[in-house]
Amino acid sequence: MNARPAIIPGPGAIAAARRTHPHVTIRGLSKRFGKAVIYDKFDLDIPRGELISVFGPNGCGKSTLINIVAGLIPPDAGQILFDGMLLHEIKFGYVFQNYREALFPWLRAFDNVAYPLKMMKVPPAERKARTERLVARLGIKLDLNLYPYQMSGGQQQLVSIMRALIVEPEILFLDEPFSALDYEMTLFMREQLQKLFMETGTTTVLVSHDLEEAVYLADRVLLLSRHPALVADFPKVTSARPRTDATLSEPDFVRMKAHCLDVFKREVRRA
Amino acid sequence: MKDRLQAFLPVIGVVGLFAIWSLVAWRAWVDPVLLPSPAKAFDAFWKGMKDGALGFDFVKTVYRTLASTAIAAVIAIPLGIVLGASERAYRSLEFVIDFFRSTPASAMFPLFLVLFGVGDETKISVAAFGAALVILFNVAYGVMNARKTRLLAARVMGASRVRVLFDVMLLESLPQTFVGLRNGVSLALVIIVVAEMFIGSQDGIGHSVFEAQQMFEMPRMYAAIFAAGALGYGLNLVFLLIERRFVHWSGK
């Protein structure tokens, strides 16, 4: 008479599976630009609720990867599923490197942030409420009545990130989001991003050209080889969060950074 | 102190010009019949504008210039957006547009005379033709040069093609559209004034300049020239102020 619990998994088991199963599965991804083969039957699983940094030699296709996954560039072949669903069935956010050209200068920051909700046909009153709720939750002190061109670079990129978060995305993509900022602002923005990530736990894919930044922010560092890109390594960064300046000199962190640098150099030399 | 000095800089050229003009007229270095004193010219301007024919001519020219610019804008802006949104469509018409844009609109007078007769329609339509091509060219380029990142951003956020067109491309093209409108209205004014001089005109600033010259009333001629200049400058300024008001992000 004992029911076998394993045949029909209960809700708890499904939830557990959802927690442990990869969030994004990339299978057989191929992409070429002219004669250059960037990806050739590339496979990757992106774990759920982790922040993944993508790092690799110049022109290896770091940005191409997230652009394909986020649907900005069509792949030549391959399948990308999010919990078994296609991109247009899920909510996602994308943050561009060039905030100056990604925000709408004719809209106030507030309306920039709320724009994705408008596309989802959310009524204006609720758009306002949700935007205000996001601002409160992030604890960001910004005058959202300003136009983007009245803000500093970091503030503009913060608005971009908020615009990506407003839809409560299941996955967040950031393409070198801090590389157009000065160093002081970059440091500040790293902390902001870490705070946001710890707050929301959203699966995040960050393309970075700065190894220290990539390791510092990541749960895992995706190290790519020269194109056709392969996963050179995908190590887990074990340093505890919140990470601080002190983290940078901890032995674990230093070892991880050195390891990533080794892999990177090996891949650069292979060309 | 320095800021205050800055504000006075533009005045220097104006004062200088009038000083030289007054000096030349006073010393009679040029035949006084050909170059009256500034006072005489301004007297003619003031009287002409207040209750003479010049005021009436001025209003006529303003009406014709604005009418032709409005017609040009109504035709050229939607067409420019359509052409700009499809680079292929623009490329296939580019040569025709560039060719007629380079054709002096004055060369079209005889043709338009045949089509519309000697009335206002001819002047307005030739000017509208010239202005429309300038506006069309600028709007199409404004749309075509919309920042790719911005279009991508809108698409990533789930905007449809139509939404991208209205929410992004249209607004992106506005600064360039205003460049087109400013150039268009200047060109329309040139064409209108020329048309008023020659095509059996009874009124307008062009007619006023020409008539004064024919009757050798030099102060009145200078007054009419000055009216034309003020009109051209004023129209440009008005469009610039509208642009600053509505395209606040332009150049930022």
State pLDDT tens for residues B119-153.
Answer: 889 999 999 999 999 999 999 999 998 888 999 99
* pLDDT of amino acid A138: 77
Report yes or no: B64 and B120 within 8 Å, Cβ to Cβ. Answer: yes
* pLDDT of amino acid B98: 92
d(CA A25, CA B46): 80
Say whether B157 and A119 touch across the interface (CB within 8 A).
Answer: yes
Average pLDDT (B106-114) is 89
Q: Per-residue confidence at B193, pLDDT binned at 50, 70, 90? A: very high
d(CA A201, CA A194): 10
Low-confidence ranges of chain A (pLDDT < 50): 1-6
Is the CB of B159 inside 8 Å of chain A's CB atoms?
Answer: yes
Say whether A119 and B150 touch across the interface (CB within 8 A).
Answer: no
Query: Which of A102, A106, A147 is the closest to B153 by Cβ?
Result: A102
d(CA A229, CA A206): 17
Report yes or no: A39 and A61 within 8 Å, Cβ to Cβ. Answer: yes
Say whether B152 and A147 touch across the interface (CB within 8 A).
Answer: no
CA dihedral A129, A131, A136, A138 (to 10 degrees): 150
State the CB neighbour count (10 A cutoff) for residue A198.
Answer: 12
User: B-chain residues within 8 Å CB-CB of A72?
Assistant: 152, 155-156
Least confident of A244-248, B32-36, B74-78, B181-185: B32-36
* Buried b or exposed e, range B200-214, using 16+ CB within 10 angstroms: ebebbbbbbbbbbee
* CA closest to B161 among chain A residues: A119
Is the CB of B132 inside 8 Å of chain A's CB atoms?
Answer: no
Instruction: Identify the residue among A69, A101, A163 best suited for mutation to test binding to B, counting B beta carbons within 10 A and taking the highest.
Output: A101
Rg (CA), chain A: 20
Say whether A101 and B150 touch across the interface (CB within 8 A).
Answer: yes
Of B187, B188, B228, B229, nearest to B208 by C-alpha is B228
User: A-chain residues within 8 Å CB-CB of B167?
Assistant: 104
Question: Angle at which helices B109-116 and B120-144 pack, to 10 degrees?
Answer: 120
Is the CB of B157 inside 8 Å of chain A's CB atoms?
Answer: yes
Q: Kindly tell me if the per-residue pLDDT of B1 is higher than 70.
A: no
Per-residue pLDDT of B160-176, as tens digits, reads 988 998 899 889 999 99
The whole-angstrom distance between residue B125's C-alpha and the CA centroid of its chain comes to: 15
Say whether A98 and B149 touch across the interface (CB within 8 A).
Answer: yes
Q: Which residues neighbour B71 within 8 Å (Cβ) at sequence distance 6 or greater?
A: B124, B125, B128, B132
Query: Which of A102, A119, A120 is the closest to B150 by Cβ?
Result: A102
d(CA A251, CA A248): 9
Whether cis (ω within 30° of 0) applies to the bond prior to A228 is yes
**Tokens linked to B99:** 């060719």
Q: Kindly tell me if the per-residue pLDDT of B60 is higher than 70.
A: yes
* ipTM (interface pTM): 0.82
Say whether B252 and A102 touch across the interface (CB within 8 A).
Answer: no
* pLDDT of amino acid B251: 79
Report yes or no: A170 and A92 within 8 Å, Cβ to Cβ. Answer: yes
Report yes or no: B147 and B222 within 8 Å, Cβ to Cβ. Answer: no
Say whether B153 and A120 touch across the interface (CB within 8 A).
Answer: no
Give the largest Cα separation in chain B, rounded. Answer: 74
Instruction: Identify the residue among A68, A72, A106 best suited for mutation to test binding to B, counting B beta carbons within 10 A and taking the highest.
Output: A106
d(CA A107, CA B243): 16
Q: What is the mean pLDDT of chain B?
A: 91
Of A234, A268, A171, nearest to A42 by C-alpha is A234
The total number of residues written for chain A in this structure: 271
User: B-chain residues within 8 Å CB-CB of A115?
Assistant: 157
The H helix count followed by the E strand count for chain A is 9, 9
Average pLDDT (B225-237) is 95
**Tokens linked to A123:** 């009524």
Q: Which residues neighbour B209 within 8 Å (Cβ) at sequence distance 6 or greater?
A: B193, B197, B221, B224, B225, B228
Is A166 exposed, middle or buried (CB count within 10 Å of its CB: 0-12, 13-18, 19+)?
buried
* pLDDT of amino acid A12: 62
**Tokens linked to B159:** 């905007």
* pLDDT of amino acid A3: 44
Say whether A96 and B249 touch across the interface (CB within 8 A).
Answer: no
Q: Is the dihedral of CA A247, A249, A254, A257 positive or negative?
A: positive
Report yes or no: A205 and A54 within 8 Å, Cβ to Cβ. Answer: yes
With left for phi above 0 and alpha for psi between -120 and 50, is residue A159 left, alpha or beta? alpha
**Tokens linked to B22:** 């007054």
Q: What is the pTM for the complete model shown?
A: 0.81
Is B101 exposed, middle or buried (CB count within 10 Å of its CB: 0-12, 13-18, 19+)?
middle
